[in-house]
Structure 1
């Protein structure tokens, strides 16, 4: 898949510097694709292997009658009908940008052939610790990413999750998916005082931003939301407009606040630093281009688009049912309480096998049905298993 077109809701259409056609090169190290034997036909290596009775024999079957390759003529007429001019051009399926799992984690995510639906640009993952469903929008390339690290320090009650919404390309979101959670864990490991965990998370965000800006030819940026579960505590952080919503006994509680230039405190911060905020097509933007005020990357606007997250820390209890992490492709069309109401029956039933994933998919489909053209990523994390 290629990078976003200029009609992105994050970037102003007039900002042509955010558009390019460079395709993402997916490293084999971050995917685990498998093909069954039915996909492969061995080549004959000897006359015996090519015999009519050999299972390795390659046969060209006679085309159906009146097909593009043949007609109701005799068998010998098939060659006359097999020509380039008669072959229908097959439409190339949409290329898929695969969300990349972190490198060197305790329990790395592997995406196999069954999780990828190339024609529709979908990515899905089901598991006991979390479920996620991503669907590409109008852009040629999917710019959303996600990451998950479970069983931290061999403890099944420790994990960290993230959803990343790229803009101006997928490179920043991909970098954040590979590095942010690991950087946070590294900072927490060096922190002796548990009360300073919020500061450790902040350092993880700042370090990831700094590392990305040192990359060659850096372009674009990414909004981020992360959820760390450690020793029964839930630590949620965000930079940008990805959002975390908690179900507390069926009531929705937003644990993050979107970072947009329209927020009074964010606008004041930007203007006090010498920037300006105005509207384009009824959307508030920084310097006339970017519609979010915090995130990873955005080197050309780094003076105003900071990577410092806002963090909320709470103790998980029996009333905390599940957590939704999602990109703004969901939240622009679906409200917080509405999302919880839709997801709760799938998460709180007696038979929960694969149910959280169905909730993710239902939420994505609802946003699409209401006209969302953005990439949409929804991750659902059952919390009672971490108590």
Structure 2
């Protein structure tokens, strides 16, 4: 069994670890039986819960009791970045990934492509507060590099903006976090692009943003409420924006595309279409109340085949009952429903139990 916790070597320190906050039980299903070493903390490594500029927790290596007479070495700060798929997914080694965390569940399945292009991100206990969290689902196209980059950087870039502004500017902070992540990716020698949907929970508020056709759906007392609007060239306002900037949009075989190419009008990267394909998100801000039961974040591989109310109806019985661990099974049922209806796309579904984050 290979954990979806990603261990990557650092160019700055051999002690850099990518870790998930909180207790959880990861599992993934590789297409072969090989496994990788587990990513473990030393028993002498303790979490330090302190507010930092990047909004993340850090870890410091402590000295052994037998070395107290020696000069204490300089503290080593190790940031805790997003949780995303193992790098093996990029070469198609993983067909499925499932993860159960504190207050959320994820299930992802590769479609007919040679490699999984979806990624996800989940951070809980932000600033040591169990009621603050950040989640994201990223649907890559043209390869998985852009989705990988955004999953590993968007959360911290948004948190940096949020921490430097007042609460009333949170929507603008999220937008700047999206745009700065896009700009940083474009400096890399990488191709492809990715759509995104994110949810930040902070001070009892739910901040949902999207760029592209990933979608967020809220269950409010069992009634599905879509919180995002897909960015497609078929939207009149998006088509007008593109044409006003010198681009063109046409419909071929029922699918609207920009420059005869991309079927989404907003996304990260896509450098060859950057003049028209922007990463600026649209954001919805609402207060979490007891009627807000759960939030579904999913890639278009789900929404192209499953309606928003169907999705809520499938998830709700296992998300408001006593045994909420069954929510991972509900995620799988949603994916299977989409597949049986003909989806050949990568499908990623994340369910967030909002009662877990009520202040």
Task: Write the distance in 1 (CA, Å) between the matches of 2:144 and 2:218.
Answer: 27
Larger radius of gyration: 1
Query: Given that residues 95 and 121 in structure 1 are in contact (C-alpha distance below 8 angstroms), is that contact kept between their aligned partners in structure 2?
Result: no
CA positional deviation for 1:108: 5.7
Conserved in 1, the CA contact under 8 Å of 2:94 and 2:116? Answer: no
2:185 equivalent in structure 1: 212
Deviation at 1:196, TM superposition (A): 0.7
Work out whether residues 83 and 120 of structure 2, in 8 Å CA contact, stay in contact via their aligned partners in 1.
Answer: no
Q: 1: distance between equivalents of 2:315 and 2:79?
A: 29
Runs of 4+ with >2 A deviation: 26-32, 92-96, 102-112
Tell me what 1:81 maps to: none
Structure 1 unaligned spans of 5+ = 1-25, 33-91, 97-101, 113-117
Deviation of 1:119 after TM superposition, in Å, equals 7.4
Residue deviations 1:103-153, cap 9 Å, x none?
Answer: 9655864879xxxxx877001101232110000000010000000111000
Identify if the C-alpha distance between structure 1 residues 119 and 221 changes in structure 2 by more than 3 Å, giving closer, same or farther.
Answer: closer
Residues 1:139 and 1:108: Cα distance change in structure 2 (over 3 Å) = closer
Deviation at 1:200, TM superposition (A): 0.1
C-alpha separation in 1, matches of 2:115 and 2:84: 21
Q: Does 1:184 align with 2:179?
A: no
Aligned-residue offset at 1:281: 2.4
1:52-87 alpha-carbon deviations (Å, 9 max, x no partner): xxxxxxxxxxxxxxxxxxxxxxxxxxxxxxxxxxxx
- The residue correspondences of 1:1-387 to structure 2 (distance < 5 A) are 28-29=8-9, 93=32, 106=80, 109=83, 121-191=95-165, 193-216=166-189, 218-352=190-324, 354-387=325-358
CA 239–105 in structure 1, closer or farther in 2 if over 3 Å, else same: farther
Q: In 2 relative to 1, CA 383–155 (structure 1 residues): closer, same or farther, beyond 3 Å? A: same
**C-alpha displacement at 1:358, in angstroms?**
1.1
Q: Once the 2 structures are TM-superposed, how far is the Cα of residue 347 of structure 1 from its aligned partner?
A: 0.3
RMSD over equivalenced CA pairs, Å: 2.5
Q: Distance in 2 between matches of 1:359 and 1:28?
A: 31
Give the TM-score, by structure 2 length.
0.77
Deviations 1:206-238 (A, max 9, x none): 00000000001x211000010000010000000
Q: Please state which structure has a larger fraction of its residues in strand.
A: 2
**Structure 2 unmatched runs, 5+:** 1-5, 10-16, 20-30, 36-55, 59-77, 87-91
2:84–2:152: 8 Å Cα contact kept in structure 1?
no
Q: Deviations over 1:253-282 (max 9, x none)?
A: 000000000011100110011000012222
CA distance in 1, matches of 2:177, 2:84: 24
Q: Within 2, Cα distance between the matches of 1:178 and 1:336?
A: 28
Q: Any conservation in 1 of the 2:93–2:115 contact (CA below 8 Å)? A: no
